Amino acid sequence: MDLYKRIKKEDKVIYKAIAGEWERQADGLELIPSENYTSPAVMEAMGSILTNKYSEGYPNRRYYGGNEFIDQIETEAIERTKKIFGVPFANVQPYSGSPANLAVYVAICKPGDAVMGLNLPDGGHLTHGWKYSATALFYKSIPYHVREDGRIDMEEVRKLAHEHKPKLIWVGATAYPYLYDYKSFMEIADEVGAFVAADIAHVAGLIVAGAHPSPAAHAHIITTTTHKTLRGPRGGIIMTTARGIAKDAELAQRIDKAIIPGLQGGPHNHQTAAIAIALKEAATPAFKSYGKQIVRNAKALAESLKKNGLKLVSGGTENHLLLLDLVPVFGPGGGHFASDALEIAGMTANKNTIPKDPGSAFYPSGVRLGTPALTTRGMKEAEMKKVGEWVARAIQEAHKYRLPTETKDRPAYLEKAKKELKRNTNLKKIRQEVRIFCKKYPLPHLART
Ligand SMILES: *Cc1c(COP(=O)(O)O)cnc(C)c1O
């Protein structure tokens, strides 16, 4: 860990934690679909002197002096975004995906305006109007849902849109294994005069690779994170499409103003440079193959999980993520047991709600898995077969647990279950197999020392 030798010298506490995290990332299987391993060049930019500079404003329109080089960097990031996604306007300053989304509300809605988004327990994101999010506190949130089969209920979307006349309709999610039907959303929005914002946080890299349809022709606004399938640093981007500008000639300016002075101060210039580098990487043929492989791997993982006796929402996947329906294993609310068993066995995943979840948002009945990070490590279909077996074996080790019906009994029960799982020798055995396997697929980052 030569890379962090200055931290090692100056701050032992933080150094030890970083070293621990390094080992965790290198020796385990990352199955969280929103995570990835970014490139060494992106890392370098994140650790660069650019973090020292203030540059409130936009290229050639700054409140501070000394921004000649920062302007070059931000302009490059904007131009690369426009080219790669085929849009006429981009703002690359959002600190992350959530502030990017909030800026969209600020740009086009007044407090109290009706907005629509996919309900969080149905796979939607917090910022699409979940009841505890600022987006529901300040705007009138009308959630839409998925049908029994897990697909978005477009009939309900149309009915709610006509009933509530929303200003803004979100399309995008965090736990949705199907492709998005951007065109149908656009048609409904046109019927009621709403703006459509496509939130492609999860699928941006797939879109760039041609492994998922692009919303560029069927949305007014596109928002994305830069750190999920796009494989850049943490960050956010807001794009305005030609369609958006045709609907509101001032839309791009409104979005710029919503970011600053509306919501943010100085941009994170180190992050902007890292985003620019990630976009250059994403424009290569190698990235196209990467994006296509993510989807092939997800399909292979789905097959392996099913072959090993697990049930998937929708029976499979059309993108990079899978939702395990664990009701057949644990009854309602067993997501915790599965994610604990997986973690102990060296696989990181997150518990998640499934459509019509018989558990709750806090005690969901599913687990969400994805292949972007494993694909970055160079794994292919054959490796996914193995990963599926390990996942199934680990979950099997926890199968006897049942979530207590009394809410107050749950924390203690979960703690006890986790303690027992930690002592489980079969899980320890899987952990060891996973560790050995991972050595063959080093992180794209600098060699371990
Ligand atoms: C991850 C995600 C976001 C938020 O991104 P953060 O960077 O975590 O703020 C927004 N929308 C969707 C659909 C996401 O998946």
Whether 234 sits among the annotated catalytic residues: the reply is: yes
pLDDT tens readout for residues 105-157 = 999 999 999 999 999 989 999 999 999 999 999 999 999 999 988 999 999 99
Q: Is 104 in the pocket of ligand 1 (CB under 6 A)?
A: no
Whole-angstrom distance, CA of residue 91 vs CA of residue 108:
15
Spans of all domains in the chain:
45-282, 290-438
pLDDT at 449: 36
Whole-angstrom distance, CA of residue 66 vs CA of residue 71:
10
Residue matched to tokens 């990070």: 373
Q: Specify the CATH architecture of the domain 45-282.
A: 3-Layer(aba) Sandwich (3.40)
DSSP string covering 280-319: HHHTSHHHHHHHHHHHHHHHHHHHHHHHTT-EEGGGS-SS
Q: Which of 267, 269, 280, 301 is nearest to 369 (CA)?
A: 301
Q: Which atom of ligand 1 is nearest to the CA of 200?
A: 13
Residues of the chain with pLDDT under 70: 1, 445-449
pLDDT at 447: 45
For ligand 1, atom 4, name the residue with the nearest CA: 97
For ligand 1, atom 3, name the residue with the nearest CA: 97
pLDDT at 3: 79
State the DSSP H helix or E strand holding residue 57, giving kind and residue range, or none if neither: strand 57-58
Q: Is 197 in the pocket of ligand 1 (CB under 6 A)?
A: no
Q: Is 202 in the pocket of ligand 1 (CB under 6 A)?
A: yes
Q: Is 238 in the pocket of ligand 1 (CB under 6 A)?
A: no
* Per annotation, catalytic residue among 228, 231, 299, 351: 228
* Per annotation, catalytic residue among 30, 76, 199, 357: 199
Q: Is 124 in the pocket of ligand 1 (CB under 6 A)?
A: no
Residues paired with 323 in a beta bridge: 368
Most distant CA atoms of the chain, gap in Å: 64
Residue matched to tokens 């760039």: 208
How distant, in Å, are the alpha carbons of 126, 278, 379, 388 from that of 111?
18, 35, 47, 46
Q: Which atom of ligand 1 is nearest to the CA of 173?
A: 13
pLDDT at 446: 53
Sheet holding 195-199, edge to edge: 89-91, 236-240, 221-225, 195-199, 168-171, 114-118, 140-144
CA angle 194, 195, 200 (to 5 degrees): 135
CA 397 centroid distance within chain:
29
Whole-angstrom distance, CA of residue 440 vs CA of residue 70:
40
Calculate how far, in angstroms, residue 390's C-alpha sits from the geometric centre of ligand 1. 28
pLDDT at 286: 96
Residue matched to tokens 């709610």: 160
Torsion angle of C-alpha atoms 69, 74, 75, 78, degrees rounded to 10: 170
> Domain spanning 290-438: which superfamily?
Aspartate Aminotransferase, domain 1 (3.90.1150.10)
Kindly give the interhelix angle for 335-344 and 410-423, rounded to the nearest 10 degrees. Answer: 30
* Per annotation, catalytic residue among 54, 95, 413, 441: 54
